[in-house]
Structure 1
Amino acid sequence: MNDSNASDGLAERRTIDRVPESERHGSPRDQFTLWFGANLQITAVLDGALAVVFGAEAMTAIVGLAVGNILGGIVMALHSAQGPRLGLPQMISSRAQFGVKGATLPLLLVILMYLGFAATGTVLAGEAMNLLLGSSNPAVGMVVFGVLTAVIALVGYKVIHVMGRIATVVSIIGFAYLAYQLFHQYDIHSAFGQKPATVATFLLAVSLSAGWQLTYAPYVADYSRYLPSSTPDGKAFFYTLFGSAIASQLAMTFGVLVAALGAKFLSNQVGFLGTLAGEGAVLVYVVIICGKLTINCLNAYGGFMAILTTFTSFSNQTRISRGARAVYIVGFVALSVLIAILASADFLSAFKNFVLMLLAVFVPWSAINLVDYYLISNEKVDIPALYDPNGRYGAYNWTALGCYVLGVVVQIPLLNQPLYEGPIAIMLNDADISWAVSLVVTSAVYYLLQRNAKVAPKEMILDARARS
């Protein structure tokens, strides 16, 4: 082993290569705090508020969001459970389904997602940073936030988990205080029963939260891969699920109440929370920054991993130098900050809507990855072959790629997004069930076509010399 790439001390050195057993550490409980801290944040509040804005009655929205967080969270957490067993970043493992080079198709779209979320998140965090620093120049807060993001992402895995623990504690305190102020200043009972409950608005709320959870699927295993391989699948699964689903539901429920009470949140999200907090505004700005910093570090770290996975599929590299790693991360963060600073509000809104459209491409990828790993390969992977286009998995798996395209296409008539609404969604009174249909169709077709392919090894292969 090349020790220069080992993970020693605080700074992480490993990238897309497998984490050896000697470097495994941590507890499954760390997955809870990481995903709790990443989800109890201002953008999740906005997601909950949108359920009411799009027509749902408050209680209908809360129940629908809970269902979506659980359903989407289960899919997301199944990916997390792959991390300890494989010791690999999430998107590298998808080469077993799509082929070493074929996996670049979903990867390119994942990179766009990371960049979009990072840029739009930087705007909100930059606003809170400016209010905290007392600066009137919007760029100041964004740049400071970008520097913090880059530093944490550069140090890597260990500090990202520490950030998750800090954000968990800070966010619980901050949102408890905000909830107290909301209940103290508004008549909460008046938020309910303002309009009739309908199936369409219930399904819309389910889709909003399920989509929120599903966006984590392409990178969730990045943060569980250092756990010992002996970690029970159930522990990695449940700690991830509970951390992500509970925090998301808390934030989204707060958003539902805020929107149903007619509060001026959507037009000035950071400003409204600061005003609601009153004398505790500074605490709220810290809460916003901590929450966005946690998720933005995941975006930067995951974005770097996705870019690296794309490039190395053609160069056959398994490792890169620490200098190259730093260039990838700093470049990604700098680009996201630049977009946040230079883009107009209209462009950022359009960009965010485009990113929401990209949700349609993650569902079939997730279905193929999970069906193959759990039902066809039975959790057995030839890890050296993931880096060799001439190996067991080949350069392209056209069956998987065809099922992936099918999974995207079947969603088109069912989509209800800001940029496009399909005819079936209109017939269903704007209900968007595209993700559920795609999940079922893609899973079934891929399983039927691939179950007898016998590509997977009989046992897990960690070393090329161990191939049977």
Structure 2
Amino acid sequence: MPLAHVPGGLPADARRAVFDGRMPSAPGDLRIEGHGIEPVPESNRYGGAGRLFTVWFAPNLTMTGVFTGTIGISLGLDVTTALVAVVLGTVLGAVPTACLSTWGSRTGAGQLPLARLAFGRAVALPGVLQWLSSIAWDALIGLFGGDALARLCGWPFWLGVLAIMLAQGVLGVLGYEAIHRLQIVMTFVLAADFALLALRMSGSVHPATTGSVHGADRAGAFILTSTIALSLALSWAPYASDFSRYLPRDTSRSRMFWYTLLGLVVSFTAVQALGLWGASVLTDQTAAGVDTLLGGGAASAFGLLAVALAALCSNAMNDYSGSLALQTIGVRVPRPAAAALAVLLGFPLVLWMHAADTTARFQNVLLFVGYWIPGFVAIVAVDWLARRGAPVDLVAAAARPRSPWPPLVAFAVAFAAAVPFMDTGLYVGPVAHALHGADVSYYVAFAVALAVYAPLRAREGRQKREEGRA
């Protein structure tokens, strides 16, 4: 019985035709990956832990990260204080993602399919949220990539966005190995581009050495900046094992953890530091800021092309993981088609973000797409630890329905508890307001989900053991 089994659904062969399919067989196998949410068998595993560094490094070298860095300065912090906030938030957000990344080699499964262990059929809720989040990220990153390509080629904005999204759709359709191979190449290309950008900035841009906020307002701005940085790194958590599921079962888990952590922390810190440094010139029209900084000519062309390619790298991963999320919630669409669907839905969202106050809409979308993730991480982590390292039988788990109520209750309570602590342009919770804009909702959601779900999961485990002895 396959993992995708749904009682009363399609015959087994029809299900496997949708959720199973052709798998890459070795590094460099760039044929279309038809394989969906079925666990990858041990016979099809390949590669080493080192490829996790590049797959988590290159997609973060985007102007989205640079623009996020400017927010700390816009909130009134000086560059040193804002950088400390960025580093702190990035590390806190990257640790859960790195931990979850190690699950891929142990199970051969993607992150949302693995969440079925904790959520049972209630996995549809985080599955829908992840699918919608992947589309939102398409817009957040496609906004800058499309702008850069349009400026480089002299096209209208919408045409630059369309070209970027069509290209990322091709990568999302090709799948796992094509994405990994591209990230290896782009690690060097994008690192060179951002080094060039930093070199040009060193002689023409002066960072904000003094801030405009003090006392409690400064503390609030520090926490909000840290939370926004955390949201970037943590946003990859629901994707984490998607890009390690083809690694052999005996791959070193410690190496997987450290390669993932370093890829996330180094890349996110670097691009946000550039944003902090160049906040005075990197405004809403980030591509224009890059063009100006690089001084035109070949250097500007290279910089704009790299910005566009960075969006391509990152959004291909969004489309890939979004396709697995869509299958996880029970939509019987082949994985390549599901990846293409995300592109079609992301395009109008980019145009909407570009049509008005980009700064406000950017920050709102960035925060809202992540508020559900801390509760999700807490629930799947508790369930995983409760298994005490026992082998994970995904087939048996799919065939043995679990009560959806413990994870659903914990998930809902955690989100509700976090609402008063949220701070966005659309809504500022009363606690966040009292804390001078400090947004600690991510920490609250994680702690509450942990506190609610852990005893419920322990009770469920005791009941199963008693039933087994009966």
Which TM-score tier does this pair reach, normalised by the shorter chain?
0.7 to 0.9
CA contact (8 A) 1:91 1:309 kept: yes
1:461: which partner in 2?
none
TM-score (normalizing by structure 1) = 0.88
CA contact (8 A) 1:36 1:244 kept: yes
1:336: which partner in 2?
346
TM-score (normalizing by structure 2) = 0.87
CA distance in 1, matches of 2:69, 2:364: 16
CA distance in 2, matches of 1:216, 1:187: 32
Aligned residues: 438
| Equivalent in 424, 430, 437 of residue 430 of structure 1 | 437
Cα separation, partners in 2 of 1:194 and 1:244, compared to 1, 3 Å: same
CA contact (8 A) 1:113 1:355 kept: no
Say whether 1:224 aligns with 2:224.
Answer: no
CA contact (8 A) 2:100 2:237 kept: yes
CA distance in 2, matches of 1:339, 1:212: 19
Gap regions ≥5 residues in structure 2: 3-15, 466-470
1:325: which partner in 2?
335
2:85: which partner in 1?
64
Name the amino acid aligned to 2:289: F
CA contact (8 A) 1:303 1:332 kept: yes
| Equivalent in 105, 119, 138 of residue 139 of structure 2 | 119
Name the amino acid aligned to 1:442: A
Matches within 5 A, 1:145-184: 145-184=164-203
CA contact (8 A) 1:373 1:380 kept: no
Cα separation, partners in 2 of 1:26 and 1:126, compared to 1, 3 Å: same
1:109: which partner in 2?
129
Report the Cα offset of residue 164 of structure 1: 1.1
CA distance in 2, matches of 1:430, 1:337: 32
Deviation digits for residues 264-286 of structure 1, max 9, x if unmatched?
Answer: x2231111111101131011112
CA distance in 2, matches of 1:170, 1:379: 42
Report the Cα offset of residue 386 of structure 1: 4.0
1:311: which partner in 2?
330
1:401: which partner in 2?
408
1:441: which partner in 2?
448
Cα separation, partners in 2 of 1:71 and 1:342, compared to 1, 3 Å: closer
1:199: which partner in 2?
219
Q: Secondary structure at the match of 1:454?
A: helix
| Equivalent in 375, 380, 389 of residue 378 of structure 1 | 389
CA distance in 2, matches of 1:42, 1:145: 14
Deviation digits for residues 264-321 of structure 1, max 9, x if unmatched?
Answer: x223111111110113101111220121111100111111111111125xx7xxxx7x
Matches within 5 A, 1:265-304: 265-278=282-295, 279=297, 280-304=299-323
Cα separation, partners in 2 of 1:457 and 1:269, compared to 1, 3 Å: farther
Cα separation, partners in 2 of 1:380 and 1:451, compared to 1, 3 Å: farther
CA contact (8 A) 1:416 1:430 kept: yes
| Equivalent in 359, 363, 368 of residue 357 of structure 1 | 368
CA contact (8 A) 2:141 2:311 kept: yes
CA distance in 1, matches of 2:193, 2:377: 34
2:99: which partner in 1?
78
Report the Cα offset of residue 343 of structure 1: 6.8
CA distance in 1, matches of 2:354, 2:306: 26
CA distance in 1, matches of 2:266, 2:463: 36
Aligned Cα root-mean-square deviation (Å):
2.4
1:465: which partner in 2?
none
Q: Secondary structure at the match of 1:219?
A: helix
CA contact (8 A) 2:294 2:303 kept: yes
1:30: which partner in 2?
51
CA contact (8 A) 2:52 2:260 kept: yes
Gap regions ≥5 residues in structure 1: 459-468
Deviation digits for residues 104-154 of structure 1, max 9, x if unmatched?
Answer: 11111111111111123223211211222232x223222221221111111
What percentage of aligned pairs have identical amino acids? 27
CA distance in 2, matches of 1:342, 1:352: 14
Report the Cα offset of residue 376 of structure 1: 4.4
Q: Secondary structure at the match of 1:311?
A: coil
